[in-house]
């Protein structure tokens, strides 16, 4: 038991903090634990979770990427224009176009990182500017409101009318999110490729000597993030029913913070899908709780920052130092 807690310190700490916040919110507001609110949390976190599991794979492989959110904006544009050109399409075609274009953007990053041995943060700062600059330049900042009907029609998977007449629903983004989370989990924990990515992220030189194909690792990691960004971009365009060039600008830092909060190590080699999902959820639940509690919006950022700090402190310190009961009595003073 103790061993399990210690080896998954981050996840345990996050679940603990989430439970504490959850219990507190259920006691102090009568709205937190309603179906409607839980569904809202799922629906509104879906896009960030899809981004987050993609970024997780890159972080595990020892890289970092800040270009994925604006790349997703470019994907939105290309997909919207391509769908317009072929005259409609459907969800399958949309996802294939968005995913493939996303993979291309990821591969572009991986190409420079691998063949020219440039640090990933430098490459992605450059591509971040290239993608966003290209988007603003080519579109002139014009949004697209005329999207195909299938894309802007909400797809309701489950709906429920509460006693007071209010509707709550689970929509397509949540299903796509679950698919992406499962696929990433399978990739990391159940495939040889996943283990190779972890080994490569932990010790690139060791992995190379061991015979792991380094180029493949980079392309798979960044390609995976590209795929997820493409899908996330399409999903975001779906629920806001429009394509706006800077709608996703700045999202990369929110997602990065959530993934690192979820225990992914910036140096590579460590990170779990569960932790990453919990990281995103912790931030969404906090924001949601503050609204439900009626806390003044002037205090929001302060409280969110404090909770991130508390969760990270808890997971980094580990239970032994915070709760000396668990520690060896002989060493404790």
CA distances from 256 to 45, 68, 141, 162 (A): 14, 11, 26, 36
Q: Which is nearer to other proteins, 153 or 316 (CB)?
A: 153
Q: Which is nearer to other proteins, 11 or 169 (CB)?
A: 169
Ordered alpha helix ranges (H), the chain: 2-7, 9-28, 35-60, 68-86, 91-115, 120-139, 149-152, 172-190, 192-202, 204-209, 214-240, 251-261, 273-293, 300-317, 319-322
Query: Please, what is the minimum distance in Å from the beta carbon of residue 44 to other proteins?
Result: 4
Query: Please, what is the minimum distance in Å from the beta carbon of residue 293 to other proteins?
Result: 8
H or E segment to which residue 158 belongs: strand 156-161
Q: Which is nearer to other proteins, 202 or 242 (CB)?
A: 242
Burial grade of 223 (CB within 10 A; 0-12, 13-18, 19 or more): buried
CB 255 within 8 A of CB 52: yes
Q: Which is nearer to other proteins, 241 or 316 (CB)?
A: 241
Q: Which is nearer to other proteins, 96 or 142 (CB)?
A: 142
In angstroms, the CA 54 to CA 47 distance is: 11
Query: Please, what is the minimum distance in Å from the beta carbon of residue 270 to other proteins?
Result: 30
In angstroms, the CA 69 to CA 76 distance is: 11
Query: Please, what is the minimum distance in Å from the beta carbon of residue 288 to other proteins?
Result: 5
Query: Please, what is the minimum distance in Å from the beta carbon of residue 29 to other proteins?
Result: 7
* Distance between start and end Cα atoms, the chain: 25
Q: Which is nearer to other proteins, 16 or 36 (CB)?
A: 36
Q: Which is nearer to other proteins, 87 or 297 (CB)?
A: 297
Q: Which is nearer to other proteins, 13 or 69 (CB)?
A: 69
Query: Please, what is the minimum distance in Å from the beta carbon of residue 98 to other proteins?
Result: 18
Query: Please, what is the minimum distance in Å from the beta carbon of residue 52 to other proteins?
Result: 15
Query: Please, what is the minimum distance in Å from the beta carbon of residue 233 to other proteins?
Result: 13
Phi-psi region at 241: left, alpha or beta (left = phi > 0; alpha = psi -120 to 50) = left
User: Nearest-CA neighbor of 158 among 142, 169, 144, 147?
Assistant: 169
In angstroms, the CA 15 to CA 36 distance is: 22
Q: Which is nearer to other proteins, 163 or 325 (CB)?
A: 163
User: Nearest-CA neighbor of 49 among 174, 199, 170, 217?
Assistant: 174
In angstroms, the CA 72 to CA 102 distance is: 7
Query: Please, what is the minimum distance in Å from the beta carbon of residue 242 to other proteins?
Result: 6
Can you read off the two tokens belonging to residue 18? 């989430």
- Applying CB under 8 A, which residues contact other proteins? 29, 31, 34, 36-37, 40, 43-44, 47, 132, 136, 139-143, 145, 154, 164, 166-169, 171, 236, 239-242, 244-247, 249-250, 284, 287-288, 291-294, 296-298
Q: Is 171 helix (H, G, I), strand (E, B) or coil?
A: strand
């Amino acid at each position: 038991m103790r061993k399990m807690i210690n080896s998954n310190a981050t996840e345990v700490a996050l679940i603990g903090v989430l439970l504490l916040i959850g219990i507190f919110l259920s006691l102090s507001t009568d709205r937190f634990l309603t179906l409607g609110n839980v569904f809202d949390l799922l629906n509104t976190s879906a896009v960030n979770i899809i981004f987050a599991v993609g970024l997780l794979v890159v972080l595990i492989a020892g890289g970092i990427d800040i270009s994925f959110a604006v790349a997703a904006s470019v994907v939105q544009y290309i997909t919207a224009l391509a769908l317009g050109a072929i005259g409609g399409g459907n969800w399958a075609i949309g996802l294939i176009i968005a995913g493939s274009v996303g993979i291309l953007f990821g591969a572009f990053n991986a190409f420079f990182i691998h063949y020219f041995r440039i640090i990933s943060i430098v490459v992605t700062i450059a591509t971040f500017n290239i993608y966003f600059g290209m988007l603003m330049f080519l579109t002139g900042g014009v949004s697209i409101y005329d999207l195909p009907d299938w894309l802007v029609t909400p797809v309701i998977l489950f709906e429920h009318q509460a006693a007071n007449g209010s509707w709550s629903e689970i929509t397509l983004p949540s299903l796509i999110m679950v698919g992406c989370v499962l696929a990433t989990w399978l990739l990391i924990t159940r495939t040889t490729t996943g283990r190779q990515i972890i080994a490569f992220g932990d010790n690139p030189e060791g992995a190379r000597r061991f015979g792991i194909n380094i180029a493949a690792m980079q392309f798979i990691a960044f390609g995976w993030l590209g795929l997820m960004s493409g899908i996330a971009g399409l999903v975001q365009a779906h629920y806001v029913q429009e394509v706006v060039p800077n709608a996703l600008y700045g999202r990369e830092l929110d997602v990065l913070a959530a993934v690192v909060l979820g225990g992914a190590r910036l140096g590579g080699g460590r990170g779990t899908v569960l932790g990453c999902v919990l990281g995103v959820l912790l931030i969404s639940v906090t924001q949601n709780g503050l609204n439900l509690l009626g806390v003044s919006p002037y205090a929001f950022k302060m409280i969110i920052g404090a909770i991130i700090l508390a969760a990270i402190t808890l997971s980094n310190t580990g239970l032994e130092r915070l709760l000396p009961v668990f520690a060896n009595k002989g060493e404790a003073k």
